[in-house]
Every structure is written in structure tokens, then in C-alpha cells.
Amino acid sequence: MKLTGRTILITGGSAGIGLAFALKFLELGNTVIVTGRRQTVLNEVKAKYPKLHTIQGDVADSAQIATLAARVKAEYPKLDVLMNNAGIMLHKNLKAAAADLNGLMAEVNINVGGVIRMNSAFIDILVANKGTVINVSSALAFVPLPSAPIYCATKAAVHSYTQSLRFQLEETGVEVIELMPPGVETDLTAGLAEGGSVALMTTDELIKKSFAALKAGKLEIRPGQSNQLAFLRRLAPDFINKQLWKASKKLVPAE
Ligand SMILES: NC(=O)c1ccc[n+]([C@@H]2O[C@H](COP(=O)([O-])OP(=O)(O)OC[C@H]3O[C@@H](n4cnc5c(N)ncnc54)[C@H](OP(=O)(O)O)[C@@H]3O)[C@@H](O)[C@H]2O)c1
């Protein structure tokens, strides 16, 4: 991937992995726009990093995506990178009936629905500018962490969808990249135990490894433990599945 002189939109770029990518892209001489649901957080980010552009938006809301797409296409006609990063992870107890069946779909609406809707809303400008799509899935697309069953299913879905997207866009000149991070220290993993199968890497380390892979032209980026999980799910799927269940059992909420 060409890493300079691009105009880049990162969903969920106000914190964690998205913000770390935004700052690295900024440092490399790109124009970077970040989104998030909370305007207060975007204001704080803007105050701290005035060169970042911020726009509020929820990727689970089709109307907000349409508004965002219209605004970005008008204000940033050179947009040529879309990084679908916004995501949430929830630990769920599948033995208990959910009090709110709609709420049960939050991860599906954001993690998968958001990616699919954003790509559709921006495909015309990405094709016109021969751009790049970066979909952020997870190492958990390969092997589930059973305490977060819906989250892992959404990441497996993004992995599958991204492969199809890459084939379909083959002749358009749009490059399709998938970033599959392992456990990374962010707000999303605040509840995850350190050590064992769910050891966490820092965002700095993720950036170092990911940008080396992007520079090398890799289309499926599996930093650190992500690569090991990809290997183990072929070599010893029962073993690695059980390891992750052991590591996450205590994270299943009581109800
Ligand atoms: N951390 C890890 O270990 C890890 C590992 C593998 C993959 N990932 C993936 O990496 C991505 C980023 O995760 P992270 O760890 O950086 O999480 P994070 O620190 O919690 O940051 C999530 C970002 O997404 C935004 N966001 C959440 N829901 C949104 C929505 N509906 N619309 C727009 N923005 C939304 C958040 O801002 P608001 O709350 O203000 O909207 C925030 O900016 C996710 O897709 C996650 O699944 C993370």
C-alpha cells in the first residue's frame, strides 16, 4: 500500500487502534479524517491533534452513513483510503435469555453491518480514485474466544466478506487489505486478563508490525499472535479452541 499523500477516512478513529493508525498516517504525510459516535471524545482528539479532521457518525445507522458519505465526498474529493475500524466487543452468557433481543444484535450491526454499509456508501469514490479499503477483523476470526461469541462470529464474517470483496474489486484497481490484530491494549480489551492465550500487545507494537506489512504490500496482515492462531487452527484446532475457552471462561457474565 502506498503510505503517503493519501486522503484517509478511519471509522472509530477517536480511540485505540483507529487513533493509533490515524496518528501514524498523519506522521507519514496523509490527510486523515476520523469518526466516532461521541462528539465529546472527538473534541478532545481534535484539541490534542489539531491536524486530524473529525466527523461524528455511527456506522450502525444507515442515515448517518449517507450523511457522512455526502459530506466526505464534497469536502475531501481525493478520498482514496477507507479504514473500516469501528467495532465493539461484548462478553455474553448464552445460557441466559437476553432481556433485549435488539440489543443482542449491537455487535452485528456495528462490526459487520458497519463495514458492509460503509463500503457500499464509499465504493464509487474509492473506484474513481483507485483507492484502498482496510477492513479490521481480528485474530478471533480464526478461533473464537467463547466468552465473546457474537463478537467472534462478526469477525469471522468480516474475514469472509473481505475475501469476496477483494475478488470482486480485482479489476477496479481498488486494493482490499484486511488487518487481523491479536489482543491489543485498548478500551475494548480492558476486561481481558493478561497472560496465557490472551496476552495483549501495545498499540505501538501493532503499528510497527502493521506498517511494516503494509509497506511490504501484504493484503492480509496478521501481527504477532494472530499469525500463530491462523497456524494453530489448522494444526491443532481442538487444542487451541479449548485453550481459548479455558482462558475466557471467567469472562462470561453471570447473566
Ligand atoms: N483491541 C483488540 O485487542 C482488538 C483485536 C482485534 C481486533 N480489534 C478490532 O479493532 C477495532 C478497534 O478496536 P479498539 O480495540 O481500538 O477499540 P476501542 O479502543 O474501544 O475504540 C473503538 C473506536 O470505535 C468507535 N466506535 C465504536 N462503535 C462505533 C460506531 N457504531 N460507529 C462509529 N464509531 C464507533 C469508538 O468511539 P465511540 O465509542 O465514541 O463511537 C472508538 O473510537 C475494532 O473493530 C476491534 O474489533 C481489536
CATH number of the domain within which 237 lies: 3.40.50.720
Q: Report the nearest-CA residue for atom 42 of ligand 1.
A: 12
Q: How far apart are the first and last CA of the chain?
A: 45
Q: How far apart are CA 150 and CA 172, in angstroms?
A: 33
- Is 73 inside a domain boundary? yes
Note the pLDDT of residue 194.
54
Catalytic residue list: 151
Q: Which of 35, 84, 188, 200 has most ligand 1 atoms within 8 Å of its beta carbon, as the pocket-test mutant?
A: 188
Q: Is 203's C-beta closer than 6 angstroms to any atom of ligand 1?
A: no
Note the pLDDT of residue 255.
78
Q: How far apart are CA 254 and CA 136, in angstroms?
A: 30
Q: Is 53 helix (H, G, I), strand (E, B) or coil?
A: strand
The total number of structural domains in the chain stands at: 1
Note the pLDDT of residue 87.
98
The DSSP secondary-structure symbol of 42 reads H
- Is 2 inside a domain boundary? no
Closest CA to 134 of 19, 207, 219, 217: 219
Give the number of C-alpha atoms closer than 13 A to the C-alpha of residue 152, restricted to the C-beta side: 18
Note the pLDDT of residue 196.
47
Q: Is 106's C-beta closer than 6 angstroms to any atom of ligand 1?
A: no
Q: Is 38's C-beta closer than 6 angstroms to any atom of ligand 1?
A: yes
Q: Is 148 helix (H, G, I), strand (E, B) or coil?
A: coil
| Domain range enclosing 21 | 7-251
Q: How far apart are CA 138 and CA 154, in angstroms?
A: 10
Centroid of ligand 1 to alpha carbon of 16 (angstroms): 7
Q: Is 45's C-beta closer than 6 angstroms to any atom of ligand 1?
A: no
- Is 31 inside a domain boundary? yes
Q: Are 87 and 18 in contact (CB under 8 A)?
A: no
Q: Is 63 helix (H, G, I), strand (E, B) or coil?
A: helix
How much is the pTM? 0.97
- Is 80 inside a domain boundary? yes
Angle between helices 225-235 and 237-248 in degrees, nearest 10: 130
Note the pLDDT of residue 80.
98
Centroid of ligand 1 to alpha carbon of 54 (angstroms): 16
- Is 1 inside a domain boundary? no
- Is 97 inside a domain boundary? yes
Q: Is 97 helix (H, G, I), strand (E, B) or coil?
A: coil
Grid cell at residue 233: 487452527
Enumerate helices (H) and strands (E) in the chain, giving the number of each: 9, 7
Q: Report the nearest-CA residue for atom 20 of ligand 1.
A: 188
Q: Low-confidence residues of the chain, pLDDT below 70? A: 193-198
Q: Is 193's C-beta closer than 6 angstroms to any atom of ligand 1?
A: no
Q: Which of 19, 88, 145, 180 has most ligand 1 atoms within 8 Å of its beta carbon, as the pocket-test mutant?
A: 88
Q: Is 15's C-beta closer than 6 angstroms to any atom of ligand 1?
A: yes
Q: Are 200 and 192 in contact (CB under 8 A)?
A: yes
Centroid of ligand 1 to alpha carbon of 110 (angstroms): 10
